[in-house]
Chain A
Amino acid sequence: MNKRKVIEKIMLGVISSLAIISAIPIFAIIINIYSEGARHLTLNFLIDLPPPPVSGKSGGIGPALVGSLILTSLAVAIGGSIGFFTGLYLSEFSHTRLAHYTQIFLQIMVEFPTIIIGLFAYMVLVAPLKRFNALAGAFALSIVIIPYIALNVREAYRSIPYTLKEAAFSLGVSAPIAYLRILLSTARRGVLTALLIGMAKAAGETAPLLLTILGTTFTYFGGLDQPINAIPLLIYNFALSPYERWHQVAWGAAAVLLTITLMIFIISRLVVREVKV
């Protein structure tokens, strides 16, 4: 073997090892979280109230799970609608100056520190009401996910072949009907993927919730104008507490959150794969 081939082999080896190293954290995280948290994954853990700090039953994350479901649904409903129509506009009116600047703003928003968005929600919806509340949390999460959804919906609509757009409009229908009744089903997988990405993001964010929902421990849901809890926030609060029992709940909650995220990821991959067929 000549020198050039030896060097080539070595370089390939180095690059492959680096690729493997970069994948280590994700496996390490998954193994770590499930080894500590998997034993908590029971139906009761999902439904029950958290345990008292020092004695009594083992408890669960019922209020935080309910809160996460409510906040995520609201965020996807609000941020999803706004993001969807923004994405549609960006795709179909890409020649306008408004679309050009909106796109730049959205790309900046993707990189925005989410704690700042939480602070903004505090100013707009918490301070005036003089109370931490679920709506402020949902509002903050909506803002976080709008750019993700808008930019992905834009891609979904852009990928529709021009000839299908012409076919839709040649039927003599109005633009809303063409885009929403005919072409949406052509782009449905891309749009669905956009919403799933937004959902995963909303379910996993902590920072926007710190300054908005406070985090209840023993109440499931008291109304949108009341404090509420969410799984990421519960993990943060319980992991910082001095109680070993709450540390255990935090591990379990982390396993639940990871499972939800992985499930959304797997579903969106399956959706994407279907597109290629």
Chain B
Amino acid sequence: MNWAIEVNNLNVWYGDKHVIKNVSFKVPKNIIFAVMGPSGCGKSTLLRAMNRLLELNPYARVEGQVKINGIDVYSDNVDITWVRRQFGMVFQIPNPFPHLSIYENVALGPKLNGLVKDRSELDELVKQALQQAYLWDEVKNDLKKPASMLSGGQQQRLCIARALALKPKIILMDEPTANLDPVASSKIEELMLELKEEYTIIIVTHNPQQAARISDYVAFLYMGELIEIGETSMVFTRPRNALTEKYVVGRMG
């Protein structure tokens, strides 16, 4: 099978603290893969180890393999900027660049990475990304306005558009709805179901209900260890591990 991403024996340390412990799993293409677990279990770290964003933290150390299309992102001859471009990333707090316009927020990535030849191609790409993120109709007349004027939910969809504009293979989402109201959250969830037709989505969530609603496969991470992984319906109806069961029925925060 052709996997979207393969993680083999991944370990992460912050200084002396071992935060991801020998984690291995494979993610099929065009699905939503959820990583759930209580706060501080290492979910966000795991996500950042995949696109090597973790290296912004000087105290982080990684061992193991993360393969996309058979290429280990940690091998010496792989360029870190190439790695990051294979992933689109959406963060917990909507973080559009506040000083840039709505248009520029989406256009920046393709422009700086030379993905487009000219302005009209860029315009088209921005429009396409905003349409894919279900935001185009709401902002098409305000493209020049600052991104900070948008609501929280709109800002998060703008960040999704910014990620999509890079034409990534995989979208990483770090608790993308944790700071949104229920209506905005459900919009993002609908959007994810739409996007998996074209992309592989890996979402981190501390909310088991969200994982149950949207994911095809789910992994349960606890204190840096991968406790259980499988098809979402199986993990939620017949968990094999007692810890998983405790978590999915809501007896562990």
Mark A residues whose CB is within 8 Å of B.
93, 95-96, 161, 163-174, 177, 181-182, 185-186, 188
CB<8 Å pairs between A and B, sample of 27: A95-B58, A161-B95, A163-B95, A164-B95, A164-B97, A166-B56, A167-B89, A167-B95, A167-B159, A168-B97, A169-B84, A170-B84, A170-B87, A171-B109, A171-B113, A171-B162, A172-B83, A172-B84, A172-B113, A173-B81, A173-B109, A182-B108, A182-B112, A185-B99, A186-B97, A186-B98, A186-B99
Contacting residues, chain A, for B95 (C-beta < 8 A): 161, 163-164, 166-167
Q: Mostly helix, strand, loop or mixed at chain A's interface? A: helix
Listed residue (A95, A96, A164, A172) with the most chain B CB atoms within 10 angstroms of its CB: A172
Q: Which residue of A lies closest to B113 (CB)?
A: A172
Nearest Cβ distance between residue A162 and chain B, in whole angstroms? 8
Nearest Cβ distance between residue A170 and chain B, in whole angstroms? 4
Q: Which residue of A lies closest to B96 (CB)?
A: A167
Q: Are B97 and A172 in contact (CB under 8 A)?
A: no
Return the contact of A171 from the options B84, B98, B99 (Cβ within 8 A). B84
Q: Mark B74-104, 1 if CB is under 8 A from A, else 0.
A: 0000000111110111011101111110000
Q: Which residue of A lies closest to B91 (CB)?
A: A163
Q: Are B166 and A163 in contact (CB under 8 A)?
A: no
Mark B residues whose CB is within 8 Å of A.
51, 53, 56, 58-59, 81-85, 87-89, 91-93, 95-100, 108-109, 112-113, 159, 162-163, 166
Contacting residues, chain B, for A186 (C-beta < 8 A): 97-99
Contacting residues, chain A, for B108 (C-beta < 8 A): 171, 182
Q: Are A182 and B97 in contact (CB under 8 A)?
A: yes
Q: Are B166 and A172 in contact (CB under 8 A)?
A: yes
CB-CB under 8 A for A171 and B93, given A95-B59, A186-B99: no
Q: Are A181 and B112 in contact (CB under 8 A)?
A: yes
Q: Are B81 and A174 in contact (CB under 8 A)?
A: yes
Contacting residues, chain B, for A177 (C-beta < 8 A): 112
New A-B pairs, 7, CB < 8 Å, besides A96-B58, A168-B97, A171-B166: A163-B91, A166-B89, A169-B84, A173-B109, A173-B112, A182-B108, A186-B97
Q: Are B112 and A169 in contact (CB under 8 A)?
A: no
Q: Are A172 and B91 in contact (CB under 8 A)?
A: no
Listed residue (B56, B59, B83, B163) with the most chain A CB atoms within 10 angstroms of its CB: B56
Listed residue (A96, A171, A186, A188) with the most chain B CB atoms within 10 angstroms of its CB: A171
CB-CB under 8 A for A172 and B81, given A163-B91, A166-B95, A167-B95: yes
Contacting residues, chain A, for B81 (C-beta < 8 A): 172-174
**Complex Cα gap A174–B109 (Å):** 12
CB-CB under 8 A for A167 and B59, given A172-B85, A185-B99: no
